[in-house]
Amino acid sequence: MATQRVLDFFATRRPSGPCLVVDLDVVADNFHAFEKALPDSKIYYAVKANPAPEILRMLAGLGSSFDTASVAEIEMALDAGATPDRISFGNTIKKERDIARAFELGIDLYAVDSVEEVEKVARAAPGARVFCRVLTDGEGAEWPLSRKFGCVPAMAVDVLRHANRLGLAAYGVSFHVGSQQTDLGAWDKALSDAKAVFSRLADEGILLKMVNMGGGFPTRYLKDVPTAQAYGQAIFQSLSKHFGNRLPETIIEPGRGMVGNAGTIKSEVVLISKKADNDNVRWVFLDIGKFGGLAETMDEAIRYPIVTERDGDEKAPCVLAGPTCDSADVMYEKTPYPLPLTLTIGDEVLIEGAGAYTTTYASVAFNGFEPLRSYVI
Ligand SMILES: *Cc1c(COP(=O)(O)O)cnc(C)c1O
């Protein structure tokens, strides 16, 4: 739910047009909850979830490290006050010249998931530390990451052995269990795979040090999600089960779980209409849609809580769509969204849990609509 600070901001500043407001206090609370839940893990905030400078600066001040995917994100983290030793280049798909630039900037920790990428890193960032990403099945995640990233554990052994041979520091294994992962057990299989890679390489005298346990920590949308504490316990149990009392260094890379619940979008109802007189499903068009920041409604994957001033009134299912001229700009149709029958053109609605993956997913000027404005308070 939007905090009082956010509600006060909307009430007093009355920004026109759709916009996101992020409450930094909530981000700080989330950071401390992760610290408490996994006290032995370093936190690398996944910058892509919301790279607002105010967020990065505050997290840098709290001692966070940063997971980045491009030179621009590395520069944002540096500008926010993070030192290079607190930044990882976590994208497994990098141009060699971007690796070289990152290395110049002092970055020493790189993700790989193929021998081909290892060769780039060895040339452009000689001697750097690399970790190899292993595939996960993404089961249980509402926004799974498919097979695009990672390789099978047997290949990870080859990749890290090759890194070692080329003079890189074969540093560890990473995985991502899929975003908005609500299955506490999802980390267990991945940690078992990570341990297998550790053991195989240890037999050859290559001693890995670190497991990067990725992101995936959920934010609350319409359904309750387990607490950070519950994730911490489940993960710690799996770590102990697979690694015994020789626990590796660990990293987590929360994105959504760090900023999702800190942000609220204000939007306006532009049109409410029907396609035929006898239709009972209304079409509700907002001034924000898939191209204005709600890209994660793709396949109706993420269902945001929507709050109106008429929520006490009787509700009926609506198709919810955005304002652009693309017919793909429909958020919820397969599963219509219940909204008050009294909802009226011009009403304001609040879209909750919108702090992650919204501003950066907004198009530049599709149909002339400006990108999602954002305020950090
Ligand atoms: C996007 C991403 C994250 C953050 O994922 P969330 O599900 O938002 O926590 C973490 N690590 C990597 C490598 C990513 O690409």
Give the position, in ligand 1's atom list, of the atom nearest the Cα of 357.
8
- Closest atom of ligand 1 to 91 CA is 13
Res. 146: pLDDT tops 80 = no
CA gap 173, 181 in Å, rounded: 20
pLDDT band at 140 (very low <50, low <70, confident <90, very high): confident
Render 40-100 in DSSP notation, one character per residue.
Answer: TEEEEEEGGG---HHHHHHHHHHT-EEEESSHHHHHHHHHTT--GGGEEE--S---HHHHH
For ligand 1, say whether the CB of 91 is within 6 Å of any of its atoms: no
Q: So where are the chain's domains?
A: 24-259, 261-376
Residue type for position 117? E
Q: Which atom of ligand 1 is nearest to the CA of 69?
A: 15
Contact status, residue 111 vs residue 130, Cβ threshold 8 Å: yes
| 257 Cβ inside 6 Å of ligand 1 | yes
Q: Separation of 298 CA from ligand 1 center, angstroms?
A: 18
Q: Does domain 24-259 have CATH number 3.30.2400.10?
A: no
Check if 296 has its Cβ closer than 6 Å to any atom of ligand 1: no
Per-residue model confidence as pLDDT tens digits over 98-120: 999 999 999 999 999 999 999 99
Q: Show Cβ contacts of residue 310 under 8 Å, excluding neighbours closer than 6 positions.
A: 340, 342, 343, 347
Mean pLDDT for the stretch of residues 348-377: 96
Task: List residues bridging with 321 in a β-sheet.
Answer: 285, 330
Which fold is adopted by the domain 261-376?
Lyase, Ornithine Decarboxylase; Chain A, domain 1 (2.40.37)
| CB distance 179 to ligand 1 below 6 Å | yes
- Sequence-distant (6+) residues with CB within 8 A of 126 are 167, 168
Per-residue pLDDT band for 351 (boundaries 50, 70, 90) equals very high
Per-residue pLDDT tens for 179-235? Answer: 999 999 999 999 999 999 999 999 999 999 999 999 999 999 999 999 999 999 999
CA of 263 to the centre of ligand 1 (A): 18
Instruction: For residues 121 and 107, give the distance between their C-alpha atoms in angstroms, rounded to a whole number.
Output: 11
pTM of the model: 0.97
- Mean pLDDT of all residues in 282-292: 98
User: Which atom of ligand 1 has the smallest separation from the CA of 257?
Assistant: 9
Determine if ligand 1 sits within 6 Å of the CB of residue 254.
yes
The two three-digit tokens of residue 135, written as one number: 């595939």
- Residues 133, 151: contact at Cβ < 8 Å? yes
Q: Is the CB of 73 under 6 A from ligand 1?
A: no
- Could you tell me which of 244, 123, 264 has the C-alpha nearest to residue 192? 244
Q: What is the mean pLDDT of the chain?
A: 96
Instruction: Give residue 74's pLDDT.
Output: 98
